[in-house]
Structure 1
C-alpha cells in the first residue's frame, strides 16, 4: 500500500519546507552515523559557504540569507565543537575570517554524497526530467529573487 499523496491545498512554501526536511534529515542521519551527532541543522549555513580562503561572518550572513546574530551564534557553536576556527584577516587587522578545521572539512563531502543519494532517490520517484525541471525552475526563481538572470543553467 503506497502512502497518501500530500493534499493539494498545501502552499508551495509548505511543500518546499517538507522536501527540505526530508533532504536535511537524510544528511543529519549520515552525519550522526559517522560520529558527527553534535551538528545541528542551522550549522549547514556555515558549512555550505566557508571557502578554503576563509570568510567573514558578515559575508556568511549574506550568502546564507540569515541574520548576523544567527550566523555569529552558529559560528561560535561550531568553534567550540572544533569544526571552525577564526583567524585574523591578513590585510584588515580589525576583521577575522572563519575557516573550517580538519574536522570541519570532513562534513561537506559526507553531506554532498548524501545529498546526491537523496537526489537520485527523488529522480527515481519523479523521473529525471521532472527533477531537472524542478531544479531549473528553482534556480531561475532564486536568481530572479536575487536580481540575477540565471536562465535555466544546470549546477
Structure 2
C-alpha cells in the first residue's frame, strides 16, 4: 500500500479528493444561490431574511475554503472553475428568486443534498482512517441538521 505524506492510503485519498471536489462544487453553487437570494429578496420578511441569507453565505464561504484546503491536505488539487462546479454539482443553479418561502425551500433542498453527500464522504473517510475528513464532515452535518430544523420551522413544517 502506497501512502501520502500524512500516512493515508493514496488510492483512498484519491477517491476522497474526488468526492470532496464534488462537494466543493455543490457548496460553490449553493453559495452563489444564497448570494442571489440575499440580493433579490423582497416582501414582508425582507429584513429578517436578508440578514439570515448573509449569515448563511458567510458560513458557506468558510466551508468552501475548508473543503478546498482539505483536498490540498490530502495531496490533491481542488476544482476552481465554475464550469467544473456546474458540471459536478447536484445543487441546481437558481436565478431571479425573490420570494422568501421559495428561497427557503430551495435552501432546504440544497442542504438535503449536501448532508447526503457529506454522510457518504464521512463513511468513505472512516474506511480510509482519515480522521481529519471525518471530523470536518461530522461537524458540518451536526451544524446543518440544526439549521435545517430552523429553516423548516420558518416554513411551518
TM-score bucket of the superposed structures, by smaller chain: 0.3 to 0.5
- Which structure shows the higher helix fraction? 2
* TM-score normalised according to structure 1 size: 0.35
* TM-score normalised according to structure 2 size: 0.35
- Which structure shows the higher strand fraction? 1
Larger radius of gyration: 1
